[in-house]
């Protein structure tokens, strides 16, 4: 593996919107700097960085070079007075269009049960996989069709809750920023009419239907008993598949995303939308009939990712809010009102805490159709959380909302989920400053960080190249599957590789671009999905 030289000047390695603020971050002492045309190397702007400040989280003395005055479209780089240079980057009205296409195309590469062909997959194709029926744990002799959907992560498991979260982010992105999805990135199903994002989400939704048992409950996950080797391609992972038991969390997530899909797909496919709504309603009835369900734990003999969740009020809240928004039926509104008064997180957007999706659904229903007190409480709470994130970002050397303790396994999910919440605050308040803060989070993901690393495979000039992702390890292709979001720094050092190599590092430096580092460099669908959302916002035009 080639050595990664960390530059003292870090930028978004893709680029910056022509309008709005533009900053590079420097380490070390204060600098005079110049913005150079990347082709001619002539200076188009010069400035002086701000005073340096020690940033404990990154372990660096950081200062800012503002070049917001540069607005002409083109390719640029930044040079310090000592000759140090940054990555090249572009300035355009919509610099993230190709990035968004790649982040979305990643879901095609996650597909299970179908051949990924050369026309669409390039060198990263593989044969159809996981076509065998799966055994239902606890029901001897029962086998069910398990094919389709998306692999969850660097392994080949498929999980109902995380899958629902990923689809929700993509559907929200389309609902809020449809102009960002007018261009096709070409899928086998592309018909020239239906937006490709909806075609791709349908792949996962069609699989989720298979996870619902006859009584309405939803199987928590579908996996082999244990993970295959790191170099095993999906078509060679032929161990027996198992449906793990139904859980309330999975059922609530299913009901929420299906009710959401029923609304969004109706203009495109009324029959599919009706099927989604019917499935959501049956799932809701299961939840009503099972008010006190224990949290999910792996059954004996299953050692794949558990995605355990002891608290299911958040999933029920999301389900009720989406069903109310889609149907207008009072019984769902009554459920929302009862659940909203319970003490669970209502602004989180992770696979374990889905209450934020319920809050968004309820606020999007509108003041006229909602309880005045609950609406106000949720709106004020969402804006207060966004203000907290913005305040943390202002104090952070790299302008993101993670505190030292937030550099957890999958910290980049927090980076993008927080950016999504900030953009929700922009939507409900009209304040552009929230979008500016969200954009800083995208800058971080794409290289403006202490490690000078783009955490998206194939994007930027210092991207992650060795993700913990079985197809990228086993396919014999030098470059990894493109468009995958890496998990990012994890101060807990949760795998052997980083425990050996990263002891004593500051939180934001606890990352290894190595395929053995599953705790810092794995990839998942639900780290990609909020990144698609954020990119779509800034591909819809900058109004800041």
Residue 30 reports pLDDT greater than 80: no
Residue 541 reports pLDDT greater than 80: no
User: What is the crossing angle of helices 196-210 and 160-176, to 10°?
Assistant: 150
Q: What is the pLDDT of residues 423-434, one digit of tens each?
A: 999 999 999 999
Residue 4 reports pLDDT greater than 50: yes
Q: Which stretches within 126-241 are classed as H helix?
A: 160-176, 196-210
CA 185 to CA 367: how far, in whole Å? Answer: 37
CA 242 to CA 249: how far, in whole Å? Answer: 18
What residues contact 467, with CB distance under 8 A and at least 6 apart? 154, 457, 480, 481, 484, 486, 515, 521, 522, 523
Per-residue pLDDT band for 3 (boundaries 50, 70, 90) equals: low
Q: What is the pLDDT of residues 368-391, one digit of tens each?
A: 999 999 999 999 999 999 999 999
Per-residue pLDDT band for 540 (boundaries 50, 70, 90) equals: confident
Residue 297 reports pLDDT greater than 90: yes
Buried b (16+ CB within 10 A) or exposed e, 19-28: ebebbbbbbb
* Helix (H/G/I), strand (E/B), else coil: 33: strand
Per-residue pLDDT band for 119 (boundaries 50, 70, 90) equals: confident
Look at residue 63 in the predicted model and tell me its pLDDT: 95
Residue 418 reports pLDDT greater than 80: yes
Q: What is the mean pLDDT of the chain?
A: 96
- What are the strands, taking DSSP E only, across 241-398? 241-243, 246-247
Q: What is the pLDDT of residues 527-538, one digit of tens each?
A: 999 999 999 999
Backbone φ/ψ region at 493: left (φ over 0), alpha (ψ -120 to 50), beta: left
Look at residue 473 in the predicted model and tell me its pLDDT: 98
Q: Are strands 15-17 and 89-92 parallel, antiparallel or unpaired?
A: parallel
Tell me if residue 522 is catalytic.
Answer: yes
Look at residue 31 in the predicted model and tell me its pLDDT: 79
Look at residue 1 in the predicted model and tell me its pLDDT: 42
Phi–psi pair at 292, nearest 5 degrees: -125, 80
Residue 320 reports pLDDT greater than 70: yes
From the candidates 441, 513, 514, 515, give the one annotated as an active-site residue: 513
Burial of 504 (0-12, 13-18, 19+ CB in 10 A): exposed
Look at residue 296 in the predicted model and tell me its pLDDT: 94
What residues contact 241, with CB distance under 8 A and at least 6 apart? 130, 132, 133, 134, 135, 146, 222, 223, 224
From the candidates 462, 468, 469, 514, give the one annotated as an active-site residue: 468
Tell me if residue 322 is catalytic.
Answer: no
CA 513 to CA 493: how far, in whole Å? Answer: 13
Name the residue among 280, 359, 376 with its Cα closest to residue 327.
Answer: 280
To which residue do tokens 């409900």 refer?
Answer: 428
Residue 136 reports pLDDT greater than 90: yes
CATH number assigned to the domain with residue range 97-370, chosen from the 4 options 2.60.40.420, 3.20.20.80, 1.25.10.10, 1.50.10.10: 1.50.10.10
Q: Is the dihedral of CA 358, 410, 523, 105 positive or negative?
A: positive
DSSP state for residue 194 in the 8-state scheme: S
**Mean pLDDT computed over 101-111:** 97
CA 15 to CA 519: how far, in whole Å? Answer: 28
Residue 13 reports pLDDT greater than 50: yes
Burial of 271 (0-12, 13-18, 19+ CB in 10 A): exposed
Number of Cβ atoms within 10 Å of the Cβ of 278: 12
End-to-end CA distance of the chain: 41
Model confidence pTM above 0.85: yes
Residue 2 reports pLDDT greater than 70: no
Q: What is the pLDDT of residues 458-499, one digit of tens each?
A: 999 999 999 999 999 999 999 999 999 999 999 999 999 999
Per-residue pLDDT band for 544 (boundaries 50, 70, 90) equals: very low
CA 159 to CA 230: how far, in whole Å? Answer: 19
């Amino acid at each position: 593996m080639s050595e990664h030289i960390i530059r003292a000047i870090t930028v978004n390695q893709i680029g910056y919107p022509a309008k709005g603020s533009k900053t590079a971050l420097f380490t070390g002492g204060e600098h005079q700097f110049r913005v150079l045309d990347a082709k001619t190397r002539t200076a188009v702007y010069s400035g002086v960085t701000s005073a340096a400040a020690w940033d404990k989280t990154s372990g660096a003395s950081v200062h800012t070079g503002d070049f917001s005055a540069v607005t002409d479209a083109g390719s640029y780089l930044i040079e310090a007075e000592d000759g140090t240079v940054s990555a090249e980057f572009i300035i355009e009205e919509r610099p993230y269009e190709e990035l968004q296409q790649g982040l979305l195309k990643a879901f095609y590469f996650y597909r299970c049960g179908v051949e990924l062909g050369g026309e669409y997959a390039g060198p990263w194709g593989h044969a159809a996989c996981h076509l065998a029926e799966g055994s239902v744990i606890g029901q001897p002799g029962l086998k069910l069709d398990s094919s389709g959907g998306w692999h969850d992560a660097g392994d080949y498991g498929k999980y109902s809750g995380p899958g629902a979260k990923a689809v929700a982010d993509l559907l929200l992105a389309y609902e809020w920023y449809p102009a960002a999805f007018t261009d096709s990135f070409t899928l086998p199903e592309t018909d020239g009419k239906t937006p490709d994002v909806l075609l791709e989400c349908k792949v996962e939704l069609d699989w989720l239907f298979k996870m619902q048992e006859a009584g309405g409950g939803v199987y928590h996950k579908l996996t082999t008993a244990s993970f295959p080797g790191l170099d095993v391609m999906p078509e060679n992972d032929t161990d027996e598949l198992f449906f793990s038991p139904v859980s309330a969390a999975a059922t609530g997530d299913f009901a929420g995303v299906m009710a959401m899909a029923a609304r969004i797909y109706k203009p495109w496919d009324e029959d599919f939308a009706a099927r989604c709504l019917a499935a959501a309603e049956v799932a809701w009835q299961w939840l009503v009939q099972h008010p006190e369900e224990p949290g999910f734990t792996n059954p004996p003999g299953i050692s794949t990712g558990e995605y355990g969740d002891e608290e299911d009020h958040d999933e029920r809240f999301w389900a009720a809010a989406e069903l109310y928004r889609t149907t207008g039926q009072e019984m769902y509104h009554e459920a929302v009102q009862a659940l909203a008064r319970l003490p669970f997180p209502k602004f989180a957007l992770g696979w374990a805490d889905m209450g934020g999706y319920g809050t968004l659904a309820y606020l999007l229903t509108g003041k006229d159709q909602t309880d005045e007190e609950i609406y106000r409480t949720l709106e004020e709470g969402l804006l207060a959380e966004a203000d907290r994130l913005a305040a943390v970002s202002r104090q952070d050397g790299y302008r993101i909302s993670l505190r030292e303790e937030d550099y957890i396994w999958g910290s980049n999910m927090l980076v993008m989920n927080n950016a999504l919440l900030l953009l929700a605050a922009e939507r409900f308040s009209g304040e552009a400053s929230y979008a500016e803060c969200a954009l800083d989070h995208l800058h971080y993901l794409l290289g403006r960080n202490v490690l000078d690393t783009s955490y998206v495979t194939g994007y930027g000039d210092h991207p992650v190249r060795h993700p913990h992702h079985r197809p990228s390890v086993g396919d014999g292709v030098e470059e990894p599957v493109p468009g995958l979001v890496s998990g990012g720094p994890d101060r807990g050092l949760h795998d052997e590789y980083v425990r050996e190599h990263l002891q004593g590092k500051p939180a934001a430096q606890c990352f290894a671009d190595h395929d053995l580092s599953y705790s810092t460099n794995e990839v998942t669908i639900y780290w990609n999905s909020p990144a698609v959302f954020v990119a779509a916002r800034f591909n819809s035009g900058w109004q800041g």
